[in-house]
Amino acid sequence: MREIIFCILLLVGSGCLAWFYTDPQYISKTKLPKKLRGVKKLVVIYSRYLYSGGHFRRLLFVLVVVSLSYVLFTDSSKYKFIENMAFSVIAAFIFDTFLNFQKEQLHKTMVSRSWQSSYNSCYDREKVVLALYSEGRALPMKLQLHLLHRLIFMSIIYSQNNVTKKIISLPWSSNGNGLKMIDLPKGFVFGDLLLDFIREDAKFINSFYLDEKVATSFPSINDLSRRFNNSCLIALSMIETKLGLENGWNGNDETINKQMKLYFSERKQFMKLYEKLISNYGVVGW
């Protein structure tokens, strides 16, 4: 009986540790001696590879660790069927690693590079919007985009009532052609700029969501990118319909505000996951 309890605790414990290992943030925060920092970098890279592969690859790794624990620390020969299953899982994982790791790692790195400028531009535009409501401060304390949905809606619809209180000069976007700055004088009516912000978001997330390379390389972000894409496009359509710019989704002020809140909430989650999953993928020492 004690042997069975020990075996169960061992397998559950090893499985939990393996699951946490596949989250690279836990590994990157672990402090190790200087001599082991090189090893830590490699471990973080492989951990991020597992994490970016979605739940299936993470679960496969957990099964491998559980199988190894079962084979190494228990009398596995008593149960030949389970032992054979454990060896099969280990063999499948080794085969997958040697066959796919280098190829997928390179592919993921190239996908990350291709979208990094667009992602950075989303963050830059967010800082511009925050600066509009914080007297020019790009990173104000306790002020986040998803808390401003009602103010942003009112600023777009009734733009004449909202002007900059100070001069603002910040990056708006960046690409292969360089950095695009935005310079707003004091007293600038910024309603149209906020509408441009949403339009740029819509262009970015729609292109990102439809990118097959992203879908295959980073399956973990597919569901969230779909939700961000849908909420952003609907919010944009509602606002443009309200302004008479198109004949799309209709809604009263309260409905549009709810959609704006959803859009900014999904945006926040997407940006957070993108930073963790894709941003600067492949950079040693992440």
Based on the domain organization, do 176 and 235 belong to the same domain? yes
Q: What is the model's pLDDT at position 283?
A: 67
Mean pLDDT computed over 67-76: 78
Based on the domain organization, do 238 and 143 belong to the same domain? yes
Structural domains counted in the chain: 2
Based on the domain organization, do 41 and 179 belong to the same domain? no
Based on the domain organization, do 40 and 119 belong to the same domain? no
CA atoms lying within 13 Å on the CB side of residue 20: 11
Please report whether residue 104 resides in a domain.
Answer: no
Based on the domain organization, do 121 and 214 belong to the same domain? yes
Q: Quick one: pLDDT band at residue 67, thresholds 50, 70, 90?
A: confident
Based on the domain organization, do 126 and 74 belong to the same domain? no
pLDDT over 70 at 137, yes or no: no
Please report whether residue 129 resides in a domain.
Answer: yes
Q: What is the model's pLDDT at position 286?
A: 42
Residue where a domain stops, chosen among 57, 78, 99: 78
Residue where a domain stops, chosen among 62, 78, 94: 78
Please report whether residue 17 resides in a domain.
Answer: yes
Please report whether residue 26 resides in a domain.
Answer: yes
Please report whether residue 96 resides in a domain.
Answer: no
CA pair distance 87, 245, nearest whole angstrom: 63
Based on the domain organization, do 152 and 265 belong to the same domain? yes
Among the listed residues 2, 5, 21, 6, the one whose alpha carbon sits nearest the alpha carbon of residue 65: 21
Q: What is the pTM of this model?
A: 0.84
More confidently predicted of 7 and 173:
173
For 29, the domain range is: 2-78
Mean pLDDT computed over 249-269: 93
pLDDT over 80 at 264, yes or no: yes
More confidently predicted of 33 and 154:
154
Based on the domain organization, do 148 and 224 belong to the same domain? yes
Based on the domain organization, do 65 and 140 belong to the same domain? no
Please report whether residue 91 resides in a domain.
Answer: no
Q: What is the model's pLDDT at position 285?
A: 43
Based on the domain organization, do 191 and 262 belong to the same domain? yes
Based on the domain organization, do 143 and 248 belong to the same domain? yes
Pairing of strands 168-175, 178-184: antiparallel
Based on the domain organization, do 147 and 251 belong to the same domain? yes
